[in-house]
Structure 1
Amino acid sequence: MALDLNTLRAHFPSLDTGLAFFDGPGGTQTPCPVADAITATMTGPLSNRGVTSPSELNAEHTVTAFRAAYADLLNMPADGIVHGRSATQLTYDFSRHLAKDWKSGDEIVLSRLDHDCNVRPWIQAAERAGVTVRWIEIDPDTTDLDLGSFQRALSTRTRLVALTAASNVLGTKPPVRQIADLAHGAGALVYVDGVHYAAHHLVDVPALGADLFVCSPYKFLGPHCGVLAGSPELLETIRPDKLLPSSDAVPERFEFGTLPYEILAGATAAVDFLTALDPGTRTTRRERLTHSLGSLHEHEQALSTRLGEGLRALGAAVTVHCRAADRTPTLLMSFDGRDAREAQTHLAARGVVAPAGSFYAYEPFNALKLEDPALRAGIAPYSTTNDVDRLLEGLSTFI
């Protein structure tokens, strides 16, 4: 397995600026094939979906291709793929859909590790339904989830367990399958935020044990939108509020209004771009994705190791808050006696993009008493050893 990094990077006009981008956890740079797909869809014959004119068929084929691409990416049936404006919007939608069946005395379990996208919608839905919220806590020594707290929170009254597959600030990857099996044993649904996870790993939704799984293509080279995956059989049991004339078929019943066909085309192009990174001689798109993303994982992990070693060499002036053994190539750090925003500005002056903030990770920052803001650096497919060295050099002149 090997990535041709020079060929990969040549597809990204934004890299011609000479900037070293470490802001991928907030959204990656976009390759030309994704932008070209968006442009071609918008400027080609296009109408609302139908089966008569070429323009109607173009729209229909765009939707079909999108569902097929994300079915392959997530290892799910194509009719279990739902488009949304964002993971946040999809989670708010499904919190309302699912809460229709909740009643007083029911409980849900949330995770302190999660982005607020997978926390606040559920809390607000629970408050409206009179449902109790319980928590999976974080072990401050390891930054892993405390599974003992989960077992204490879970009961036969639990209707839903919502957790992340990877923290967007700490990179921690909790044992989702283990948690899902326990949740299913109690009769609860499992909703997984895979936004950060899907940017760094090939997703297998059934293997994770997720009943519903969300991700965001703009975190892995695509346009700004969200994708939810669930089994069609489960989606058939969920009844959203919808317009009377709109389709009641799954998954269309969850997609409100006319779909943004150009965004769907760009999201499909992102999957195809990832598929072509290092496809080997495999036959199906899922097989080619497995090979390509395996190579990508090796590349990102090597850079993450280099970055981690370099940060340790800077000494006590830099505190890295990511301590989980199993995590993504994302590092959160703070600086002794210095504001992380100053570090962001210092790096930006040297052509290195690494943002400071709390990144909507309200619960992890509170649970671990992390200083806000902190600096986050994430490795992306187009990252290089030179980028890592520039980041480390910039930090060495800051501390």
Structure 2
Amino acid sequence: MAYDVARIRSLFPSLESGWAHFDGPGGTQTPRAVGDAVASVLTGPLSNRGTIGESEERAEAAVHRFRLAMADLLDAHPRGIVHGRSATQLTYDFSRHLSREWGPGDEVVVTRLDHDANVRPWVQAAEHTGATVRWVDFDPDTAELSTDAAAAALSDRTRVVAVTGASNLLGTKPDVAGIAAAAHDAGALVFVDGVHLTAHELPAMGALGADFYVCSPYKFLGPHCGVLAARPELLERILPDKLLPATNVVPERFEFGTLPYELLAGVTAAVDVLAGLDPDAAEAAESRRERLTASYAALHEHEARLLDRLEEGLAALPGASIRSRAARRTPTLLATFDGRVAADLTRSLAEGKVLAPSGNFYALEASRHLGLGDAGGLRMGLAPYTDDADVDRLLEGLAWALR
């Protein structure tokens, strides 16, 4: 069957508000099934994890199902799935864990395309240990990050290469697999920020060459938290500070304190919603990963069609400059308009219940490298529930604001 966006929109109670949401890169709307899953775990019998009684068993099941769901989504091992408060927190945690072995002469590679959450933790870890930071620039005209440029920054002293799977500001999808191959040849680990990528492309850690992969479920229909995936044997080699009575088992050794079981259930529900975007494929598939593969293919086709409409409409507006020009990119556009302040356009659109935020969205290095300073531009992101009427309202609102 064709992508049934009307059916998908019916899953989201918040859309009844009448707003057209283009703020998905900052966080999507939440399906009713996710809210129900959170409420069910939180209000049902619930205790700390264990095997005695229903309340302990429900907590244990929430953790187990969460790890299985995220492993299916990321093509990872369940024992390599770590929960965190946010992707930023997890990146800071692991920058500290890994940099314990760094010293003067060691190097870390970061890119100007990345969200600051995959830049500053590594820069600050290098400052604390005396290691050197190597920067990789992207082409501001094409928004492309060259694999050759990344490879040129490597040496036999490179310890970590931190790179985005997709830019949250521009949508650019660099050749992570190519960069990872070069990094591994140099003996370095690869830390991939998959926060923006996961919302639009089904990740496969092995194919990407990622040693570590972080993402944020609230960017793909889930609750506010973060997830890190890595090979269990790699996690076994990392010894974080922890409380003495706390378990040393992987991945629990990296999860400090009691887990939010209700949020874990919400993440599982979000993955299941994603796996059901194409119901026909869901019936034919033998595994959740197969259902996810089919659903993401349908989502990609839907978003690509809308992106073409949006780009064509933006190109016809006076003074418009689309900054998102990479050959491989997500359905996320950054645009500026001659003589107009992006924040003013955001406020004008909001008068018609269209939400398209403006700013640098914590991709500070990228915004500055584009010559946009800290102000950034107007960002428009598509999501599974975006339809043609939303796109029409955005373009009409911008045309009115630019008159």
Shorter-chain TM range is: over 0.9
Q: Alpha-carbon deviation of 1:276?
A: 1.1
Q: Is the 8 A contact 1:135 1:149 kept in 2?
A: no
Q: What TM-score comes out, normalization by structure 2 length?
A: 0.97
Aligned residue for 2:25, secondary structure, equals helix
CA RMSD across the alignment: 0.9
Summarize deviations over 1:167-214 as a string: whole Å, max 9, x none: 001000000000000000000000000000000011101100000000
Q: Which secondary structure does the structure 2 equivalent of 1:259 belong to?
A: coil
* Aligned amino acid, residue 357 of structure 1: G
Question: 1:368: which partner in 2?
Answer: 370
1:348 corresponding residue in structure 2: 350
Distance 1:239 1:55 in 2: 31
Equivalent pair of 1:341/1:373 in contact (CA under 8 Å): no
- Provide the C-alpha distance between the structure 1 equivalents of 2:208 and 2:270, rounded to a whole number of angstroms: 23
Q: Conserved in 1, the CA contact under 8 Å of 2:147 and 2:175?
A: no
Q: Where does residue 299 of structure 1 map in the other structure?
A: 302
Measure, in 1, the Cα distance between the counterparts of 2:38 and 2:344.
Answer: 37
Separation in structure 2 between the aligned mates of residue 300 and residue 222 of structure 1, nearest angstrom: 19
| 1:240 partner SS | coil
Per-residue CA distance 1:252-309 (angstroms, 9 max, x = gap): 0000000000000001100001111114111100001100111011111111111001
Matched with 1:253 is 253
Structure 1 residues not aligned, in runs of 5+: none
Inter-partner Cα distance in structure 2 for 1:176 and 1:295:
23
Q: Residue 136 of structure 1 contacts residue 147 of structure 1 at CA under 8 Å; is this kept in 2?
A: no
Distance 1:277 1:177 in 2: 27
The CA distance in 2 between the partners of 1:172 and 1:291, in whole Å, is 23
Contact 1:163 1:193 in 2 (8 A): yes
Distance in structure 2 (CA, Å) of the matches to 1:163 and 1:150: 9
**Percent identity among equivalent residues?**
62
> What is the letter of the counterpart of residue 297 of structure 2?
G
Amino acid at match of 2:399: S
Aligned to 2:314: 311
Matched, 1:393 2:396: yes
**1:323-334 paired onto structure 2 within 5 Å:** 323-334=325-336
Secondary structure in 2 matching 1:397: helix
Q: Kindly report structure 1 stretches of 4+ aligned residues shifted beyond 4 Å.
A: none
Q: Structure 2: how far apart are the matches of 1:248 and 1:2? A: 48
Deviation for aligned residue 1:156: 0.4
Q: Which residue identity is paired with 2:183?
A: A
Does 2:15 correspond to 1:15?
yes
Report SS of the residue matched to 2:334. Answer: strand
Task: Work out whether residues 151 and 183 of structure 2, in 8 Å CA contact, stay in contact via their aligned partners in 1.
Answer: no
Q: CA deviation at 1:146?
A: 3.0
Counterpart position of 1:377 = 380
Structure 1 residues 102-111 or 63-72, which shifts more? 102-111
Alpha-carbon distance in structure 2 between the residues aligned to 1:111 and 1:191: 12
Q: Which residue matches 1:168? A: 168
- The residue aligned with 1:114 is 114
CA distance in 2, matches of 1:377, 1:182: 33
Which residue of the partner structure matches residue 337 of structure 2? 335
The amino acid of 1:262's aligned partner reads E
State how 1:16-165 maps to structure 2 within 5 Å: 16-165=16-165
Segments of 5+ residues of structure 2 without an aligned counterpart are: none
Per the alignment, residue 183 of structure 1 pairs with 183
Instruction: Please give the per-residue CA displacement for 1:42-78, whole angstroms capped at 9, x wherever unaligned.
Output: 0000000001111000000000000000000000110
